[in-house]
Structure 1
Amino acid sequence: EIPIDPKKSVMENAQVYFERYRKLLRKMRILEERIEKVEDELEELENIEKYVNLTRDLEELRELEIKVLGKTKRDEVRKTDEMPGVLRFEKNGFTILVGKNAKQNEFLSFKVANLDDLWFHARNTAGSHVILRKAGKEPPRDVVEFAARIAATFSKASNSSKVEVDFTEVRNLRKPKNSRKGFVIYKNHKTLLVEPLEHLELSSRKGN
């Protein structure tokens, strides 16, 4: 039974409860935004930890620190680094970009990537968006597989021995209206079954 104030009319009581409902709704929205922000930050920290565990290159770790802390000078920022902390790999002359959270994922997939670039994501699990820049060239099989292994590594399935990774051209991505940040649907994809990267293998990041 809902208590009412006998000194107020039915409409006045209804208005009181409606205002309480609106305040509660605003608090719930604020709470949801805070939860989303914390989840985003946790995901980013997890991916930073993976990157640190994979690399032994002190210079790259220093570069990562600069990006994460936002110390990079504006005139030194490349298009791919407009959002601090985006991870960058090189393989046989091809650039591979990795988002560390939902905000970066969406930024890479819809703001940075060209339509003919390749997009990778671990299948049926949460993970980073990985972009393989074509730059007018068709990447060879080993580069495509390397990008897929990066997507497997930066996913919730990274502890599995084998991970299915879907990939397709960026032109095949679509973001549904009102969907959460970083969520996409895609078509015309292929799937690779790959092993996540191990610690010592990241020397191949340099293009070897």
Structure 2
Amino acid sequence: MEGLFIHAVLRGLMGRLPSRALGWVFPDEGTAALLLEGVGNLVLRYRPPRPLLGVELGRLWGEAKTPFQRLLEARCKGRLLAAEQLKLDRVVFFDFEGERGFVDIAPTRLVFELTGRNANLILCDLEGRILGLDRPVPREVNRYRELRPGLPYVPPPPYQKLDPRTLKVEDLAPFLGQPLLQLIRNLDGVGKELTAELLRRVQLPSQTPLAAEHLPLVHEALQRLVAQPAGQTRPSEGLQKLWEEEAEALRKPLREALQRQRKTLQARLLDYRRALERLEEAERLRGWGDLLMAYASRIPPGPVARVEDFDGKEVEIPLEPGLSPIQTAARFYQRAKRLEASAERALELIPQTEAQIAALEAELARLESLSREELRKESRRVREKGPQVGLRLRSPEGFEVWVGRNSKENDLLTRMAHSEDLWFHVQGLPGSHVILRTQGRPADLPDLLFAARLAAYHSRARGDRNVPVDYTAKKYVWRPRKAAAGQVLYTQARTLFVDALPLEEV
């Protein structure tokens, strides 16, 4: 942001000071906005590479997100007494009166350096000692000045340029015979964009040698530029861009939450369709069971039974090790019954799940069309409702079961669990942390198997059979120092062997 743009903003602001500060808001980690009584929002966007200063009406939102923003909120209080620009440089000083109360807040000075990639926001006391700043600058980075709490504030190095606000026609005489661009480069507060605007107003090429007849034309154009810089609405345009970025920042977590729900439902839908496809397997298992029951007395011991089906064709049937043909047939009937039950349930759930996915698609489309204000309301509604971390299910006996879907959720769920809850994890492979919320109450085997199968299914062992899953009380689980989120150690564990296949309830 160029010096004359800053001057134009401050010129409009100074006529309405002093003004009482009504509170800070922080739309993002690099933006602070102070609501001034009778003025509007003083917006300071202080993160490189495009700092911005502006005064805007409307309403901004956001809580403090960084330690420095919390310091601003606590120490910059009372009336804003003055706003002063260092020459026409990109450095602005804001003086705050402080507050008297149960705990007095001392007066402070806020320094805003809008210096491109070196932009910074610095809070000082009235003696110039730095109380805090957004980005400390060590001596290794800047030999001229070091910026950190406790040191006196040192402004950027001084320079000598012509001030276009007080410039007279005769002050331009030393540039006679030199290119017009050389004169412009010696003007304070005029950068690349204002250079282009000034050239447009004087209607001369940048390399035009200055003659005496050019000086009044250039001087007049400069005075008009000071009075009304080109793009004086630029701060509003910049704020519009800021609001667009804020809207996207609000929209992103809402969109990602809906996309996660959609992905989960799509995975369930795929499981339900696979359950339907396995009806043929259920039919085959029943047929094998019928044949084993019919020929049980004539089947010799061995891994395979070779019998004729009811159409006279020879069929090979795998036998379970250590089981008789009748016991193997009973196993086949049980598996067929489970597959048929899963298929029957899938027929009920597929239309419901497809409808839920369609509703999520519609909600995603609606989300993209929401305004910034509507997104704020939606975000507040979601926060008030409270985020749900992980999948939430119910065990056969009614215990709540939590399933982490990533390392962050694994870490949060394990920390949220009661010390007597049961913690499950597949043995030796990456996977979800599963919490069976018993809170010390005894859990029956069906509940333990339910949680163990969830841990197996939501792991790298998905699809395998006879997967070992360890479980222990949460109080025996801990995260080592400096370990990544979701990485834990545990003791006192027992092991269950389960199939890592989808459950009907998942």
Q: TM-score range by the shorter chain?
A: 0.5 to 0.7
CA shift in 2, pair 1:158/1:115, >3 Å: same
Q: Deviation at 1:127?
A: 0.2
Q: 1:106 aligns with which of 393, 411, 430?
A: 411
Give the match's secondary structure for 1:155. coil
Q: Deviation at 1:75?
A: 2.7
Structure with bigger RCO (C-alpha 8 Å, 6+ apart): 1
Q: Deviation at 1:50?
A: 4.6
Match status 1:73 vs 2:377: no
Q: Deviation at 1:139?
A: 1.5
The answer to whether the 8 A contact 2:464-2:501 is kept is no
Match status 1:134 vs 2:438: yes
The answer to whether the 8 A contact 2:456-2:462 is kept is yes
Which is greater in Rg?
Answer: 2
Query: 1:129-163: per-residue Cα shift (whole Å, max 9, x none)?
Result: 00000145322110111100000000001121221
CA shift in 2, pair 1:119/1:197, >3 Å: same
Q: Deviation at 1:54?
A: 4.1
- 1:202 matched residue in structure 2: 504
Match status 1:171 vs 2:471: no
Q: Distance in 1 between matches of 2:412 and 2:442?
A: 23
TM-score by length of 2: 0.27
User: Within 5 A, what are the aligned runs for 1:1-208?
Assistant: 48=264, 50-54=267-271, 57=349, 58=352, 62=356, 73-77=382-386, 81=388, 83=389, 86-91=390-395, 92-110=397-415, 112-135=416-439, 137-198=441-502, 201-203=503-505
* Deviating 4+ runs (over 2 angstroms): 47-63, 69-78
Query: 1:112-142: per-residue Cα shift (whole Å, max 9, x none)?
Result: 2000000000000000000000145322110
Query: 1:45-102: per-residue Cα shift (whole Å, max 9, x none)?
Result: 9x84655544654369949x69xx9977223237xx1x3xx11111221111100000
Letter in 1 for 2:500: P
Q: Distance in 1 between matches of 2:453 and 2:445?
A: 12
Which ranges in structure 2 are unaligned for 5 or more consecutive residues?
A: 1-140, 142-259, 273-345, 362-366, 368-377
Q: Deviation at 1:164?
A: 0.4
- 1:28 matched residue in structure 2: none
Give the match's secondary structure for 1:73. helix
The answer to whether the 8 A contact 1:175-1:185 is kept is yes
The answer to whether the 8 A contact 1:52-1:61 is kept is no
Q: Once superposed, what is the RMSD of the aligned Cα atoms?
A: 3.3
Q: Distance in 1 between matches of 2:494 and 2:354?
A: 32
Greater share of helix residues, 1 or 2?
A: 1
